[in-house]
Amino acid sequence: MQNILKLEKLSVSAEDKQILNDINLTVKSGEIHVIMGPNGSGKSTLAHTIMGHPKYKITSGKIFLNKKEFSKLKTEQRAKLGIFLGFQNPLEVSGIKLFSFLKTINPEKEDALTFLKNTKEKLKKLDIKEEFLERDLNFNFSGGEKKRSELLQMQILKPKFAILDEIDSGMDMDTLKMAAKIILKSAKEDQTGIILITHNTKILKNISPDFIHIIKDKTIIRSGDKKLLKEIEKKGFKKA
């Protein structure tokens, strides 16, 4: 079954300030959509709005999942529908072990030994040591470790749609290649629709996105394919 996430004329404000205006976006199963734009253009606002952050108020427009409008659902309800957000700055949670957290969110509900075996296989692909599982969730993690943790969660959840907010920040070249492989696997094998938010084109060297969108002046001003990426690299966002 093909899933479709659709934003229709979505406008968003926070603290009485308009941040996004008339955003139209349609993402289908297995597609990779890249959202780019200058700092402060509303990229993270878009991510948090889709996930239902209470700080952001939808002033007009709607969000649909498979033609069902869910703009008024709480964050946990959206997560249960299959929406995942990889945070730009993941919160540190002391007292909850990463493995316990992953076991709790695992939709397969495997027995502990089977789940541990499968999780260890995923750790290898992310170049993470097994001891990582016994640490508190994101607590005292480096920036790169937090991003690996987010990718690990995405692999386990296999969501219908994953919004990755600057998952590439703080990553070196080898880690960027690894992250790209995980993102591609999720899209092509798990058929997860990906919204990848970034301001850096380096991670895109190893990903062939289906669509690239530029957010500027509170809205999506342009959409295109790889040709648009080359234009951005050459001219920047000011002349987009």
Q: Can you give the CATH number for the domain in which 75 is found? A: 3.40.50.300
Residue 140 DSSP SS3: coil
- As a whole number of angstroms, the distance between CA 214 and CA 228 comes to 9
Instruction: Let me know if residue 18 belongs to a domain.
Output: yes
Instruction: Let me know if residue 204 belongs to a domain.
Output: yes
Residue type, 80: K
Instruction: Let me know if residue 146 belongs to a domain.
Output: no
Instruction: Let me know if residue 114 belongs to a domain.
Output: no
- Looking at the structure of the chain, the number of domains it has is 1
- Is residue 62 a contact partner of residue 71, using CB atoms and an 8 Å limit? yes
From first to last of the 240 residues of the chain, give the pLDDT tens digit.
899 999 999 999 999 899 999 999 999 999 999 999 988 889 999 999 999 999 999 999 999 999 999 999 999 999 999 999 999 888 899 999 999 999 999 988 788 899 999 999 999 988 888 999 999 999 998 888 899 999 999 999 999 999 999 998 878 888 889 999 999 999 999 999 999 999 878 888 889 899 999 999 999 999 998 888 888 888 888 666
For every residue of 165-233, DSSP letters joined together read ESTTTT--HHHHHHHHHHHHHHHHTS--EEEEE-S-SSGGGG---SEEEEEETTEEEEEESHHHHHHHH
Instruction: Let me know if residue 183 belongs to a domain.
Output: yes
Task: Provide the domain limits for residue 219.
Answer: 4-90+156-235
Instruction: Let me know if residue 99 belongs to a domain.
Output: no
Query: Furthest-apart CA pair in the chain: how many Å?
Result: 54
Nearest to 8 by CA among 90, 52, 51, 71: 71
